[in-house]
Amino acid sequence: MSFTCVVCMNTKRFDTLMMNIKCGHACICEDCQSQLPFTIFTENACPLCRRNGEYRRVHINIDGDITSDELMNNNYPNNQIVNENENDNIDIIVNIEQNNDPRVIKLRQILYTGISTNYFILTYEKHNYFNPKDDRLENMVMAFYGTEQCSENNYKPFFIDVTRRVQLAINIRRQIFIVNDENLLKSNHTMNTKNWLITILCVR
């Protein structure tokens, strides 16, 4: 599994991902984090929200929560490695039946088992809106756009990862964000999105 560091913009191994435990953002690789005091960022400021904080390495524990206390070695099959840089113009569909993907783990908890008290969720139905400058979104972790029962998907959950879209709106401090296909989807879908909503996962 890989991720894109927001500082160097390189695709890095997941076991180099570092989390700022003050704001909850996990977006920077170990190499860039070690250089933060010597870059344009002040001290250990988060590259996304500029909040100073101590960093910890991210891992996935046996309960499925993404934590940062210690590193767990993960060996994923090659077909589960996702390079999102190759899909910049393609919507990232979250396969609810795929194992070991952090997005799937958190989405399953939201849908079926409930999330831990370390997190909370915000939901907005299509054509409603939210304020990206809302303080609660400072600790946004993931965002999904879709429905729990999709008729075109045999009435199974169908969600698209829209984390980058929401994070961009937060970063540029948009006044308002309308929940619709135009703002959240990169390509046209044949599915009926009338009852879709956005689910935003945040760290407390």
Determine the pLDDT at residue 61: 46
Paired strand residues for 119: 203
Domain that holds residue 183: 89-203
Among 58, 79, 100, give the residue marking a domain's end: 79
State whether 58 and 156 are in the same domain. no
Among 79, 106, 141, give the residue marking a domain's end: 79
State whether 69 and 115 are in the same domain. no
Determine the pLDDT at residue 39: 53
Specify the pTM: 0.58
Kindly report the CATH number assigned to the domain that includes residue 33. 3.30.40.10
Alpha-carbon gap, residue 108 to 111, rounded angstroms: 5
State whether 24 and 51 are in the same domain. yes
Edge-to-edge order in the sheet of strand 26-29: 26-29, 17-20, 55-57
Question: Which tokens hold the place of 155?
Answer: 């009435």
Determine the pLDDT at residue 83: 41
> Given 3-state DSSP classes, what are the helix, strand and coil percentages for the chain, each rounded to the nearest 5?
25, 30, 45
Residue with tokens 């991902």: 17
State whether 101 and 129 are in the same domain. yes
State whether 115 and 175 are in the same domain. yes
Determine the pLDDT at residue 174: 87
Determine the pLDDT at residue 43: 62
Determine the pLDDT at residue 159: 92
**Are 93 and 142 a contacting pair, CB within 8 Å?**
no
| 52 assigned to some structural domain | yes
Element (H, E) at 92: strand 92-94
Question: Which tokens hold the place of 154?
Answer: 């045999």
State whether 193 and 126 are in the same domain. yes
State whether 43 and 140 are in the same domain. no
State whether 164 and 112 are in the same domain. yes
State whether 127 and 146 are in the same domain. yes
| 67 assigned to some structural domain | yes
Among 46, 79, 112, give the residue marking a domain's end: 79
For 66, residues 6+ apart whose C-beta sits below 8 A from its C-beta are 26, 58, 59, 60, 102, 105, 106, 141
Q: What letter represents residue 60's amino acid? A: I
The total of structural domains in the chain comes to 2
Burial class (CB in 10 A: 0-12, 13-18, 19+), 42: exposed
Residue by residue, pLDDT tens for the chain (204 residues) are 678 888 888 888 888 888 887 777 888 888 888 877 655 445 677 877 777 778 888 764 434 444 443 333 333 333 333 344 445 567 888 888 776 677 888 888 888 888 888 889 999 999 999 999 998 998 888 899 999 988 888 888 899 999 888 988 888 888 899 999 999 988 777 778 889 999 999 988
